[in-house]
Structure 1
Amino acid sequence: MPQAAITGAAERVRIPWRGRQVEIEYQWLEADRPDAPVMIFLHEGLGSLAMWKDFPARVCRAAGLRGLVYSRPGYGNSTPRPPEEAWAADFMHRQAYEVLPALREALGLARPAWLLGHSDGGSIALLHAARFPELTAGTVLMAPHVMVEDISVASIARAAEAYRQGGLRERLARYHADVDSAFGAWAGIWLDPAFRRWNIEAEAAGLRSPTLAIQGLDDEYGTLEQVRAIARIALSVKLLELPACGHSPHRDQPLQVTESIRQFIQTSRRQA
């Protein structure tokens, strides 16, 4: 299936964060369906609004949803990270507890929404859903992280080397106004030895919304323990473990992932 970029112009909104105003680029999908349930898409650690390509639009069409896609601060065309600012180990908690609530308030999104997050975005979606169950209709987690594994650190170290050599930097620069801001913050914290103690299993225990957790069997950034730990800890978790699939299930197995999300949402809405 072709992966055309998201069409239409992104909008921008300012939100207060960390004592300053930051600009967030965002886009509504299926905007002509104001009464449809909303799904919020949370991108991966090196992602952005544009890097999702056509996946959010396909999910929204398949499941009858309206979509909100945005770039977190430091990514895409949102406000870049200040050069002197290094992320701390709680960077995903801040996104889940501070940035996303502020964005929802700025856009008037008070109704419960579905959350779909990939990789770091999956962890942020989990944290937001567990902290704000009244705002969450259900959660789709693709290759989320709940702990730091050796395979994750090794793969990020290889990515950092590819970035230094230039090839990865050139590819990512198409999707970020300040690519060094995006990559530097992500690689810097993930490769910090102190981050090895990061773990959100305790937070996952608060997850109450219906959840679909998806993991590729060939994921180079995490093992199946990531999603299986969520299933052991949280309520109402359905696992989808995909063969011939790496860290990006929506790119490696797009048809199966889209259909599985559609069925999950349909079933969850019937049971609500």
Structure 2
Amino acid sequence: MEKYIEIRGTNLFVKYLNPDSRKPTIIFLHDSLGCTKLWRDFPEKLGNATGCNYLVYDRLGYGKSDPMPTNPRPSNYLEIEADILNDLLIKLQIDSAILFGHSDGGSIALITASKYPSRIKGILCEAAHIFVEEITLRGIYEAKELYKNSNLAERLEKYHGNKVDILFNAWVETWTTSDFRNWNIEHFLHNISCPVLFIQGEADEYGTMAQVEKTVAQVKGKAEKYIIPNVGHTPHKEIPDQVLDRTIDFILQLAH
């Protein structure tokens, strides 16, 4: 099922498969330049293999959802996205969710589980950030140069249409401001009581192992890490079969 759902006066594009209301729903949360379509067939494969429902949606400004009103975003924009996700879960009457978040989506997953624990059964946290690192900023500046000097904008337009400039600039401008340098969500971690699996490529160009270690050490629930050699920022695209195998095991343990 594909449809638009109005949340806080804006329309979000949602793809939702709900074959069994007794099973948990895996919610896929895309990265800073991602969208529903860029997950490709990964959600369907994970849903089918675990027997869970799954939901993929485009955040405001991405994919087929309404555009962002402006480039500038507040420093707590990821916390706002967690609140919006909770609104979406309420609207769809999803009371048992497993969050699979990539990059920005991973950070949103952690915040959501901290603020709204009763709805969240587990977290698959892939390449998330809990604070800003120099490697993150270097990666963003490199992406900014690619956007100016390559066909990156054209490639992103296939997925985001005429919203590309706004969403790209929102990402770059937010993360590279002096105000955002002190952004940190570690204070949310001690409230996370559900199981967490942190997936990280050792060659991630946007974050170091410190993101993983500090997250796993501070969450209250059972926390595991899946560290993958010679893999970058998007393990579910770079080695999808391996990530599927590991995440299927994690979800099947949660579902029992």
TM-score by length of 1: 0.90
Q: Which runs of 5+ in 1 are unaligned?
A: 1-8
Residue 27 of structure 1 is matched in structure 2 by: 15
Corresponding residue for residue 239 of structure 1: 225
TM-align CA RMSD: 1.3
Give the Cα–Cα distance (whole angstroms) in 2 for the partners of residues 180 and 101 of structure 1. Answer: 28
The equivalences for 1:183-202 within 5 A come to 183-202=168-187
Match of 1:10 in 2: 2
Q: For 1:45, give the aligned amino acid.
A: S
Query: SS state of the match for residue 151, structure 1?
Result: helix
Question: Could you state the TM-score of these two structures normalised by the residue count of structure 2?
Answer: 0.95
Distance 2:210 2:160 in 1: 31
| Contiguous gaps of at least 5 residues in structure 2 | none
Structure 1 outlier segments of 4+, above 4 Å: none
Structure 1 or 2: more helix by fraction: 2
CA-to-aligned-CA distance 1:203-262 (integer Å, 9 cap, x gap): 112111001000000000001110111111113100000012100010112111111111
The counterpart of 1:101, out of the listed 81, 86, 89, is 86
Structure 2 equivalent of residue 114 of structure 1: 98
Distance, in Å, in 2 between the alignment partners of 1:63 and 1:184 is: 37
Q: How many residues align?
A: 254
Paired with 1:59 and 1:155, the residues of 2 have a C-alpha distance of: 29
- Pairing of 1:118-137 with structure 2 (within 5 A): 118-137=102-121
2:225 partner SS: strand
**SS class of match (2:159):** coil
Q: Contact 1:37 / 1:113 at 8 angstroms: preserved in 2?
A: yes
Structural mapping, 1:1-272, within 5 Å: 10-16=2-8, 21-29=9-17, 31-83=18-70, 85-97=71-83, 99-109=84-94, 111-177=95-161, 178-235=163-220, 236-270=222-256
Alignment-mate amino acid for residue 240 of structure 2:
P
> Partner letter of residue 249 of structure 2?
Q
Q: Which amino acid aligns with 1:50?
A: K
